[in-house]
Each structure stands twice: as C-alpha cells, then as structure tokens.
Amino acid sequence: MTDIEVADLPIEVPRNPYCPFSEEECAKLAPFTGRRAAFEYLQQQLTAPTNRVAAVILGGRHSGKSTMLHYFRVIFDETYIGVFVPLKHLMLSHEANLLLTLAHTATALLMQLGFLLTRLPSQPDDDSEMREWLADRFLPEIFMVIRPHRRLVFLLDDAEELIDAALLNKTMPPDTFTYLHRLLQQHPQLNLVMTVDTDYEPHLPNVSPLVDAMRTHRLMNMTLEESAWLVQYPPRKLYTVTDEAAAAVHRASGGQPQLLQSYGFHLFNLWQSRKDNNNIVPDDVKAVTPSVYSQSEEEFRWLWGELNRNERLVLTAISGLLYDNPLQSINTSSVETWLIESDYLIDATSINAAIRSLEYREVLTVTGTGVAPSAGLLQKWLLENARVSDQPHEVAGSERAPQRKWLVPLIILVVVIMVGVIAAITFSRAPQSTRTNPPEPTVTLATQE
C-alpha cells in the first residue's frame, strides 16, 4: 500500500463533487475519507503469506462499501490489480455465470492496463468444465502475464448476493465457497475481497472455509474529525466551512456517510447560489437541513421497516421522552416507565436487548449518561412518524399485548346491557297472566319504552 493519506486524495471541484444518491457512477467520483483502518485491514490480509481466506468488509446500507472498493486502485500500488465485480447486477442462477464473469472482468481490466493477452485459453463449451478451466488454464496464464511480483485481487461487491444464491436460495452449488477457497490455496498470487451487508453477518460461519468469521472488518459511521474533513476539504478552494458548522453537520447526520454527502451537496449548492459569501456557518447548515431531511425521509422509512417490534417500541419511547424533555438522560428504566404509561409492557431484559441491537446498527448512541438517536435528523423523523401502533405482525414471545385501561369498564357496561336485553326478551315471551290489570313495568322495560 502506498504512503498516500486518504485525506490527501486529489479531488477536483469543477462542479458539485458530492453524491447524495446511490448511483454507482456518481459514487465513484464522490469525496471519500474515513476508511484508513479498513485499508490497513486489507493490507494485512493481502500481504500475510499464510492467509488463504477472503478478506471481508462488513457494512450497513450506504456505509460506503462499494465506494471503498472503487478506491482500491488509488490506495494500493500497481502490484495489486484490483478487479471490481458488482455481484448485485450479476445473474447468479448458475455458477458458470460467476466464473465467466471473473474471467471476463479480469481480462478487460488487464487489457485496459496495457497487458498483452495473446495466449489466453478459450472458454469451454460445457459448463461442467468451467471450474477446471478457470483454475488450471485461465488463471495460470493470467499470472504469467502479470509476472510473479503482482497479485490479482477480485473485489466481490455485495457478496451477500452470492450467499443468497449458494446458501439460501440454492441456485448455485453449496460447495461454491469451498471451490473459491481451493483457488486461493492453489494460486498464491490470487486474493479475494468481499463486501457483505451486516444483516448477513450471522451467515458468515457457513461461508467457511473461504471466510474466517472472526477476521472481518466492519465499517462504522464517520467520526467528528472525518465528518469535518468531508464537508471542509473538497471545496476548500471555493469556500470555508467553519468548525462550528462542520460540528452541526455531524450532529445532524450522526456521521452517516450518505447524510454527510447530502449535506455537502446542499451546502455546495447554497454557496453556488449566492457566491457573495465564502463562509459556511451553522445558520447555513440549518438553512439546508430541510432539503437534506426531505431527501433522506425514504431512507429513514426503510430503516423503520427493518426493525422488529421491540426496537420500534424502544425508539418510540426514546423519541417521546426527548420530546418531553430534550435534556433529560434516558436509560432502560425511563424507557420501561414510558412504555408502561403507554400501556405497552416490555420487560427490562427485552428493552436492553433492543437497545444493544439498535446501538450495533448505529441507530442509537449509548454513553455513560444515557441513550439517544445517533443522528439529529433521525430524531426529527421519529418525532413525526414513530407510532407505537406501527408494528410488524410478528410479536416476540416475551411481549404482552398492550393493555387498555378503559377495556375492563367497557366490558362490564356491555355485560350489564346484555343482561338487561336478555331479561326483557325472556319477560316478553313468558305466558300472559289471566289478571285483568297488567303488571307494573319493570325497570328494564320502562327504560326500553
């Protein structure tokens, strides 16, 4: 790996450099920072002579996994030839499709880099021969072309698609991962890097021996320093974002990469619209926040849909507590009390489990003084949208249905009315007396008249 600092990557700013969207071509050009630890992990995994497993980068939705792979060739020197393979766009109904894609993508990149590929073997007509062709004919020829001092690194983006195909949907052979592991063992010049969504982390032990579930790296949200760099450094020759404004961006975004890109995008547009003031201050951050929020609502809605019932209830309680008193310290006890008062009974153990899960997802920030949503914009969305009635159909066994305080009196009232109606019907159907004078009406009958 070269000595270049991620923060010193050359970035031209002829136009708005930020990418608040998920389009791949846009993301390739967006400012990038904060992943030095991840690249150091990759360097360690790729250079260890005895390491014959795939390096795994874990990350949530829009955490920058794909962008990181696009920067592989910038961070690593020319001895590491990174072949980007987007699995999300690949039909994984047959293993032959995957193996041919690896071969074709590597060939195209090497030709682009100027290597002469005149002796590559033609692919077999029978898909059943594809494994042997790739392992024993294609790859050995490739390694002769790039010479022994270089390595070929397949960068498998969105590798959860491969996990789906091989382990869950069974559209590919169950030993696909074993075959890929044999390729690594057979060819010391070959490496694999896989990006995997954190939701698939529980499946990683089943990807063995290709993956060592204990040797992965997880991408986290950006720190305050990393967030500040992202909004300050790229446009530094055009305008200045004050430290106070950068801190305001971090509080609102929680360091979530896509939210940071959105703030950078709208702050750039704000500067471009006025051009008479080259300082971005906290009031400017406040001015663009509605636009960032509007652009991010769908993402918050998606996140809410991914949470289970307990997690939703805990977030709703935290949101309600902060609405009542934004400065209060929130803990398990206060969440439990709020839920009880709202007629939702969840024990402290379940609340703690939900908080841990939300912290792992970086939805909540847990400190020694309490818990709070990690992003100010998420807090705003929860206040406007989180409702205890918005629950998925699945109900955990430890949860009890909400108890309504008015339910028992209503049942008693209904019973009293029904008893009266039954008595009235019974009396009206009884044999009539031979007495001339009719009986005095009962209280029930008198009420009905």
Give the pLDDT confidence score for residue 447 in this predicted structure.
31
Q: Which CATH class is domain 35-218?
A: alpha beta
Give the pLDDT confidence score for residue 424 in this predicted structure.
52
59-98 pLDDT, tens per residue?
998 888 988 998 898 899 999 999 999 998 888 888 999 9
Taken in order 251, 254, 257, 261, is the CA torsion positive or negative? negative
Q: Identify the band that residue 165 occupies on the pLDDT scale cut at 50, 70 and 90.
A: very high
289-313 pLDDT, tens per residue?
999 999 999 999 999 999 999 999 9
Q: Pairing state of beta strands 190-197 and 151-157? A: parallel
How far apart are the C-alpha atoms of 111 and 117, rounded to whole Å?
Answer: 7
**pTM for this model (two decimals):** 0.78
Helix (H, G, I), strand (E, B) or coil at 113: coil
CA 8 to chain centroid, in Å, comes to 28
Q: What is the CATH number of domain 307-385?
A: 1.10.10.10
How far apart are the C-alpha atoms of 346 and 109, rounded to whole Å?
Answer: 56
Percent of residues, the chain, with pLDDT higher than 70? 81
Give the pLDDT confidence score for residue 413 in this predicted structure.
52
CA 84 to chain centroid, in Å, comes to 21
Helix (H, G, I), strand (E, B) or coil at 341: helix
For 224-298, CATH number out of 1.20.1630, 2.60.40, 1.10.8, 1.10.3470 equals 1.10.8
What residue spans define the domains of the chain?
Answer: 35-218, 224-298, 307-385
305-348 pLDDT, tens per residue?
999 999 999 999 999 999 999 888 999 999 999 999 988 889 99
192-216 pLDDT, tens per residue?
999 999 999 999 999 999 999 999 9
What torsion do the CA atoms of 171, 175, 181, 185 make, to the nearest 10 degrees?
-140
How far apart are the C-alpha atoms of 95 and 87, rounded to whole Å?
Answer: 12
Q: Identify the band that residue 420 occupies on the pLDDT scale cut at 50, 70 and 90.
A: low
Chain length of the chain: 449
Region 214-242: mean pLDDT is: 94
- Give me the phi and psi of 277, to 5 degrees please: -145, 115
